[in-house]
A and B are shown apart, each in its own frame.
Chain A
């Protein structure tokens, strides 16, 4: 026993030392390490940042900024983090956004005269993953801003950590209302994805007006996204068309046996069943809904969390045929999207087509960040670029009428930047067919 104690004590001390080393290394300006390297592209560089930043003396600006500056020595890389769900059951969602951001980088490889490098982290589509990814990124002084997270649960955790460090976090696919609500908005958080207040309302409107249904039940999985979206739907369904909600059920993430919960919902035979969850649970619910007593005539619907070919593959054609899914309106696809974006996307992903619907939001997030960075970046005398963190945030939040791929984006004071347009698609023969609203 004594021996174990001694070993574990030694291990503990070692861990403390290591942790101290890491934070010690991190707190010195990261640029100083790299400054000794000769800049390769010195001659080729036209230094666009210089013209844009009449900001004056960088030292004064950085000292005045609450969170200081990111310093990037001449010729060094500008580092952007991503925190997206890139492994596991929901990877189709996160990888899709990651490819979107990479397409944007390919088309705009330099920001403020520096080549851009990504630091990819996994948000795990959960609070724990968001915390881990945010901590990993926050420990790097050189991270200018972060694109993420994929899932709202992860976003709530990550926004708090990164805002504490003054690092801008822009999400391409968080949709939970609480992230940008007055009470719980984190100062350095913004998103290019729609707010689920709009998605939930759109789905309720579709069910009321288009399908003419009056009773509905909901299932969420306890995640911030599903919980809040289901709640918005319930509220809107009751207020828009005086609909009746027969039950608001919940399953747990990782649950496989959906039979009993659907049987319970079936006791009231709702006309519509709405389950805005993620791929694995969504597929199981869709399958079990076909077998539960009382749900034989029930029309089923879900949201953008399962808007992916992965979902159709997991649930099978029988279970999903005819169901409705809401999501961002892909009718935005103008010439640029078809002609330039998609070919670049396919090349980067090595796949045929996007696996989810938020790649364009990630693309816009990258470009808006790039614009904001170039607006505030200051060029020092020695060629070092200074990016004041609070000024970057302010510049981002001040963006208005930005012409992006997903529409015309304008940020409000709580970080909702999206030009939110929701459409509803129906699954027919293993394909998503956009059916509402009419174009």
Chain B
């Protein structure tokens, strides 16, 4: 009796049930994968396509997720309007690209045009993010934690429907950049050029961010504020400035993510920030919210899961239309991760 009472956690029924559930789901996934592979419907090239497009989409998720994670790391709030910052980036890119297409710059100088589009989108997204912080969040900095959360949802709707008012609710086609069309051969693999560029750009940015946070003075200040705002302020750090920089970086990354996203999917509409925003938030939680490396890993994992898992796991069981269940799989994995590692893959490290 006393033994059982003294170690209630080891024989907790709920824990046992959760382990069985998790183990069962993993066993089902393995069985599904085995069945699919033994059926041999998909060739190596097919898997390659699934994986590459998953990585490309995942790296965009990761870029957006960084915005969530940075802000959470410093303010402990979820900036639900971040998806809309991303959406404003896509609209800016759309107009910039259309303008350059009319001016003929996309045809004559595609690389320069692309860089300009990215720069303008970054600038606008950054401005939106900083304005959001200054107008909607800063006045509420000392309010209960629920208040900025609700404000964020309000800000999200405000931005969404402002965009609808400005630009209409139709779907806009994004012009094509000739050098990004077609395929490229790398190490014997034939890859879609746009996916390659998107992945490359995203990874480069993530590296740059990591170095910025780890190696620069401002990065150190960000980490200090994340640790303890009051103490950081006493050490002479301008907390408001650091928070503003954090939002600026998040916005900047969302702007780039916006350009990369429409490079992949060629479509812009006012509601497009919602789903990628939710997915990126999921990615941030998956990796451990507040953790930069976690957000990157979470994004990539989510993108890969969505692209590969329906075909790998469900196809083997002969389930019809497996692709439709991709979100179900992604969120099942999220639930499983949160059951066994409540703080995500990497947990919340104390460096932003």
Contacts and interface: CB of A to CB of B under 8 A. Distances in A.
B189 interface: no
A283 B171 contact: yes
A293 B49 contact: yes
A142 interface: no
Interface stretch (A11-19, A55-63, A253-261): A253-261
A260 B176 contact: no
Interface string B311-324: 10001000011111
Interface in A61-93: 87-89, 91-92
Given A252-B326, A291-B192, 12 more contacts: A91-B169, A249-B324, A257-B53, A257-B264, A260-B50, A263-B50, A264-B42, A280-B267, A284-B267, A287-B266, A310-B170, A313-B170
A92 B267 contact: no
B57 interface: yes
Contacts of B170: 89, 91-92, 310, 313-314
Contact of B321 (A89, A91, A250): A250
Contacts of A318: 176
Interface residues of B, number: 42
Given A283-B267, A291-B192, A314-B267, A257 B307 contact: yes
Contact of A260 (B53, B271, B272, B274): B53
B269 A280 contact: yes
Contacts of B306: 257
Interface in A406-428: none
A263 B321 CA distance: 13
A288 to B, nearest CB: 9
30 contacts: A89-B169, A89-B269, A89-B271, A248-B320, A248-B321, A249-B321, A249-B324, A252-B326, A256-B265, A256-B267, A256-B275, A257-B265, A257-B306, A259-B49, A259-B307, A260-B53, A260-B54, A260-B310, A260-B323, A263-B49, A263-B50, A264-B42, A264-B322, A266-B46, A283-B173, A284-B265, A291-B192, A310-B171, A313-B171, A314-B170
A222 interface: yes
Contact of A222 (B173, B192, B266, B324): B324
Contacts of B54: 260
Interface of A: 87-89, 91-92, 220, 222, 248-252, 254, 256-257, 259-261, 263-264, 266-267, 279-280, 283-284, 287, 291-293, 310, 313-316, 318
Nearest to A288: B265
A4 to B, nearest CB: 9
Nearest to A293: B45
Contacts of A88: 169, 271
Contact of B327 (A252, A284, A314): A252
B53 A313 contact: no
B198 to A, nearest CB: 12
A420 B57 CA distance: 43
Contact of B323 (A92, A264, A313): A264
Interface in B152-185: 164, 169-173, 176
A249 B271 contact: no
A91 B271 CA distance: 13
Contacts of A266: 46
Most buried by B among A88, A263, A293: A263
A267 B170 CA distance: 33
Interface of B is mostly: helix
Contacts, number: 104
B171 A250 contact: no
B43 interface: yes
B323 A315 contact: no
B3 interface: no
A316 B164 CA distance: 21
B215 interface: no
B41 interface: yes
Contacts of B324: 222, 249-252
A313 B267 CA distance: 10
Contacts of A279: 171
Most buried by A among B57, B267, B307: B267
A411 to B, nearest CB: 34
A261 B54 CA distance: 12
A333 B324 CA distance: 40
A314 B173 CA distance: 4
A313 B46 contact: no
A291 B192 CA distance: 9
Most buried by A among B54, B170, B264, B306: B170
A249 B171 contact: no
Nearest to B46: A263
Contact of B275 (A89, A248, A254, A284): A254
A84 to B, nearest CB: 14
The 9 closest A-B pairs by CB, nearest first: A250-B321, A314-B171, A250-B324, A261-B323, A259-B53, A263-B49, A256-B265, A260-B307, A316-B173
Contacts of A313: 170-173
A292 B192 CA distance: 10
A267 B54 CA distance: 18
A264 B319 CA distance: 14
Interface in B250-292: 261, 264-267, 269, 271-272, 274-276
A397 B37 CA distance: 56
Nearest to A259: B53
A248 B323 CA distance: 11
A327 B113 CA distance: 40
Contacts of B45: 293
Contacts of A252: 324, 326-327
A257 to B, nearest CB: 5
A312 to B, nearest CB: 9
Contacts of B192: 291
Contacts of A87: 164, 169
Nearest to A309: B170
Contacts of A267: 41-43, 46
Most buried by A among B267, B276, B323: B323
Contacts of B266: 284, 287, 316
Contacts of A251: 323-324
Most buried by A among B42, B43, B46, B315: B46
A310 B46 CA distance: 32
A87 B326 CA distance: 27
A254 B327 CA distance: 11
Given A256-B265, A260-B49, A283-B267, A250 B323 contact: yes
Interface in B30-57: 41-43, 45-46, 49-50, 53-54, 57
Nearest to B270: A88
A156 B307 CA distance: 32
Nearest to A221: B324
A92 B170 CA distance: 8
A263 B275 CA distance: 23
Contacts of B57: 257
